[in-house]
């Protein structure tokens, strides 16, 4: 497909069709489990299971067929599977990016995989933000060797230069889609495919996953040192080169935004979320020297807000 949201929609359709034709659920009864504070896109169906008022307000009526549970909670997931015979799939971000780079407890993704296998539910990993070397592995689920049944990719699959996204699954799932069931005018076009292949080759040849792992550890170590003596920054978290710093203010504040504006003035671009979180997702090709320059700019800027 072209965009991340289209890839998510494709995965949802694929999961539902599999549920009716392979798992044997009654037509129109399938439900898909998702997590609170998710971000999977902004189409009508996707915002139907969002709890972000900015994405939802005045866009209803919404699409049924989704159950929301807490993120990083295997007990809640199993309870939902146990008490509902119509579950087709569980869709989750391996790290919740838009929510503020929330990294689940170690073992969560492996636990998700085990529960999905136990209850014959498809494990759908949305790696539009976390995929293609961003978190220090080619895809984030590789940190726990938790292979999903359906994998959603976008953004970095083209190196960020061309619209292309993808949904991956084995034949026992993918083959429920027949000619005419699904499509897109520009989906799978030759230029997009060529760009994606070239981008993946660069990721492999230049060891960008390994670079992200190494530099991410360095970033968190350096920021942790700064936080020890800071009154404005309280926490750094993330994997690879997907990280966030928690700002000492409330979610309804504009402090993170103001800091990001000052970071821009000082030569670094970052994005705020929820008023008190700043996300840092630098280019995967950056060097150690460049990363330390970034840490210097961040530290200097934060000190202006102490």
Task: Return the domain boundaries, the chain.
Answer: 4-205, 208-303
Kindly report the CATH number that applies to the domain delimited by 208-303: 3.90.1150.10
Annotated active-site residue in 39, 49, 219, 302: 39
CB 29 within 8 A of CB 40: no
Cα–Cα distance, 273 to 256 (Å, whole number): 7
Residues 6+ apart with CB under 8 A from 254: 275
Q: Is 249 a catalytic residue?
A: no
Arithmetic mean of pLDDT over the chain: 97
pLDDT digits (tens, 9 = 90+) for 199-240: 999 999 999 999 999 999 999 999 999 999 999 999 999 999
Contacts 24+ apart (CB under 8 A), 186-189: 186/2, 187/1, 187/2, 187/6, 188/1
Which one of the listed residues 66, 155, 219, 249 is annotated catalytic?
155
Single out the catalytic residue among 49, 90, 123, 126: 126
Q: Is residue 113 flagged as an active site residue?
A: no
What is the pLDDT, as a whole number, of residue 199? 97
126 is catalytic: yes
**Residues with pLDDT less than 50, the chain:** none
**pLDDT score recorded for residue 274:** 86
CATH code: domain 4-205 is 3.40.640.10
């Amino acid at each position: 497909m072209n965009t991340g949201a289209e890839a998510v929609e494709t995965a949802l359709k694929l999961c539902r069709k599999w549920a009716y034709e392979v798992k044997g659920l009654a037509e129109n009864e399938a439900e898909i489990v998702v997590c609170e504070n998710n971000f999977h896109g902004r189409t009508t169906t996707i915002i139907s299971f969002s709890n972000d008022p900015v994405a939802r307000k005045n866009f209803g009526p919404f699409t049924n067929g989704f159950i929301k549970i807490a993120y990083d909670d295997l007990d809640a997931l199993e309870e939902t599977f146990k008490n509902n015979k119509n579950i087709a799939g569980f869709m989750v971000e391996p790290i919740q990016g838009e929510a503020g780079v929330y990294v689940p407890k170690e073992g969560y993704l492996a636990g998700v995989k085990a529960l999905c296998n136990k209850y014959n539910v498809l494990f759908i990993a949305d790696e539009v933000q976390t995929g293609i070397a961003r978190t220090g592995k080619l895809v984030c689920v590789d940190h726990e060797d938790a292979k999903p049944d359906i994998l959603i990719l976008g953004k970095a699959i083209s190196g960020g230069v061309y619209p292309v996204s993808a949904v991956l699954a084995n034949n026992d799932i993918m083959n429920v889609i027949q000619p005419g069931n699904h499509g897109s005018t520009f989906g799978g076009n030759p230029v997009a495919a060529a760009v994606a292949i070239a981008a993946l080759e660069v990721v492999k040849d230049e060891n960008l996953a390994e670079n992200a792992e190494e530099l991410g550890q360095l970033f968190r170590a350096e920021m942790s040192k700064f936080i020890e003596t800071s009154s404005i920054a309280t926490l750094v978290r993330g994997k690879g080169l997907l990280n966030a710093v928690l700002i000492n203010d409330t979610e309804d504040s504009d402090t993170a935004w103001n800091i990001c504006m000052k970071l821009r003035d000082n030569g670094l671009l970052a994005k705020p979320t929820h008023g008190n979180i700043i996300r840092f997702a630098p280019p995967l090709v950056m060097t150690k020297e460049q990363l330390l320059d970034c840490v210097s700019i961040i530290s200097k800027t934060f000190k202006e807000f102490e």
